[in-house]
Amino acid sequence: MPELPEVETVRRILHPVIVGQAIQGITLGTFPEVIGSTMEGLDPVALLIGQSFTDTSRRGKYLILHLDNGLYLIVHLRMTGRLLLIPSIDPPVRFQYVAIHLGNGLDLRFGDQRKFGRLILSTPDDVTQLDRRLGPEPFASSLNASTLRAVLANRPGKIKNALLDQGVIAGLGNIYVDEALYRARIHPERPSNTLAVDELKRVLRAVRLVLNQSLARQGTTFSSFENPYGEQGTNASFLRAYGRASAGGLCLRCGAPMERIVVGGRGTTFCPRCQVNRIPSPNPQELDGESSSTRLPNGSNS
């Protein structure tokens, strides 16, 4: 599933191409249900035609396209959704269900092999409700170890599940949670409310580090993710934890075999030697000598 780096990569590429462009028409494919509206009884296609894109933003894993009539087209890629920029004269791509024809001769096309993704025409109130439902962005200045500790204080569940909860931190998924916990040397099944502030500092530094690294490589592609020009992200070959147990991988720190367990229904990779499931005495280890920024590079307007 596309996570924050993948959705932000899509946004950054789309922004200079679609902002200021009018929607001249829309062609639907064989699964028109992928496009909908929160406004009951109103046809989203009819409301979109003639409007122009005025801005783009992102909230968690949601891409938000701003329209000049004050409405928003909220895009959730889910598992295999793709937004592609393709010349209008080109034939449909595989699994294409929506083609938005722009005034610059390009189409913004939505395809989705598994048909889970959605494009939802939404009101300002819908966007406000979405914002309230989601937790802080990983790079938000308001998110720090103390505020995270307060959120987790009454959550005895596993830390991996907490980090996957979009109401705790928005935008994280299975890949980057595994990577961050590995970097921070925290066992994925550690009870959330047992992590000390110093440990949560490590977790947040690791989260920001792995997200920044993936953003610099335009995301992680295993099978389906592509940016709007059909290019794959290159971060997969730099992963240190996610998926390495099934390939017989060894820990890049200590050489122990990586292990795979299931946490909250998600396959989870960790090092049993570096990520021990116990509450340590106060002497936190740092990350692997790497620095991370608390700011999202290249200026997302999320």
User: Could you list the active site residues?
Assistant: 2-3, 61, 266
**Number of residues that make up the chain:** 302
Characterise 243 by phi-psi region: left (phi > 0), alpha (psi -120 to 50), beta (else): left
Characterise 214 by phi-psi region: left (phi > 0), alpha (psi -120 to 50), beta (else): alpha
Question: Residue 87 to residues 32, 84, 101, 102, 275: CA-CA distances in angstroms?
Answer: 21, 10, 9, 10, 49
Question: Residue 217 to residues 15, 47, 131, 227: CA-CA distances in angstroms?
Answer: 18, 36, 27, 11
What is the C-alpha to C-alpha distance for residues 133 and 131, in angstroms, rounded to an integer? 5
- Residues β-bridged to residue 37: 121
DSSP state of 105: S
β-strands 106-112, 118-122: how paired?
unpaired
Output the six-digit token pair for 54.
């005025």
What is the C-alpha to C-alpha distance for residues 222 and 246, in angstroms, rounded to an integer? 14
